[in-house]
Amino acid sequence: MNAGRQLGPMDADAARLIARESPGAWCWKQGMPDWQPIYQVAQVRAMKKDGVTPFPDPTPDMIQPKPSGLPAQAASTPAAPAPPAKRPSFTPDPNASGGYGLAQTTDGVDFKLYGAETQFVELELDPGESAVAEAGAMMYKTCDVQMETIFGDGSNQSSGLLGSLFGAGKRMLTGESLFTTVFSQQGSGKGRVAFAAPYPGTILPLNLRDFGGKLICQKDSFLAGAKGVSIGIQFQKKILTGLFGGEGFILQKLEGDGWVFVHMGGTVRKIELAAGESLDVDTGCLAAMTQTVDYDIRMVGGGIKSM
């Protein structure tokens, strides 16, 4: 019963829609001795997005008058047909992955970006799922997300100590810490962990599957990613010009098939080069590039180093 009109009979989905739009309505079904406030009936009570937390109880002024009789004893006026169940409108969030905030298990980590000039990213981990991040990048986490500091990036743990030493050595060449931190969801539900950018700029969420499993980035740009992503180094092909170029000598190489989150100072612009097209970029302004881009370092007018 809603606003003095009898609606139904209807299925549970339609009843939940009524409960969300009119929490002060009343409902009845076979087996109930009398009309019940719809917000007190567990089967149809409106829940929040997590599917577990109910919406707050309606205030007294929202409660509608209780119907005087059961449906079988109601007046002979025909009941209004039940409204068709509507799907809630959904607007994709450009700052979040498609599975973020949903109850069901998804493929790979889900995430949402927050902030503008100084950003942070929140990852959502399914039970047993893990993410790896730079040491000291964590901002907060839920209690059932466990932390573990490891040697290297954790991508070659099956290869034993030698693989860990090799991974740590690659990180040392880029000037980063020998250690990374792995965050694993140990609880039965979903866990969350957030990582903050070290300085103002832009966090780029990049799925390595979309780039052939490999990206070349500015060194020190890796912030976090799915566990299993390999964080390596990319040497300039011409060592002498690389040494002369300074910043372009060693770049960061990310390999794998999951999400990575890289941080760049300032605003980032995506530029797609056609086959054979060239672009001069200051060595300190390159954010990332795909493995199909051939690059070199040279001097341009005025002594500016360019890639």
Given a cut of 80, whether residue 40 has pLDDT beyond it is yes
Lookup: tokens for 122: 């929140």
Lookup: tokens for 231: 């964080």
Please name the residues in contact with 275: beta carbons below 8 A apart, sequence gap of 6 or more: none
| Domain boundary assignment for the chain | 12-73, 110-306
160/148: higher pLDDT: 148
Name the band, by pLDDT with cuts 50, 70 and 90, for residue 298.
confident
Alpha carbon distance 243, 249 (integer Å): 6
Find the DSSP H helices in 59-186. 160-173
Cα dihedral 52, 53, 54, 59, rounded to 10, equals 170
Given a cut of 50, whether residue 284 has pLDDT beyond it is yes
Name the band, by pLDDT with cuts 50, 70 and 90, for residue 76.
very low
pLDDT at res. 260: 94
Bond before 9 cis per omega within 30 degrees: yes
Identify the weakest region by mean pLDDT among 62-71, 116-125, 252-261, 276-285: 62-71
Identify the weakest region by mean pLDDT among 25-29, 80-84, 85-89, 225-229: 85-89
Question: How long is the chain?
Answer: 307
| Residue 72 CA neighbour count, 13 Å, CB half | 6
Lookup: tokens for 13: 């989905």
Q: What percent of the chain has pLDDT over 90?
A: 26
CATH homologous superfamily, domain 110-306: Mitochondrial biogenesis AIM24 (3.60.160.10)
126/90: higher pLDDT: 126
Given a cut of 50, whether residue 74 has pLDDT beyond it is no
pLDDT at res. 205: 93
β-pair partners for 193? 123, 141
Alpha carbon distance 195, 120 (integer Å): 6
pLDDT at res. 50: 59
83/77: higher pLDDT: 83
| Percentages of the chain per state (helix, strand, coil), in multiples of 5 | 15, 30, 55
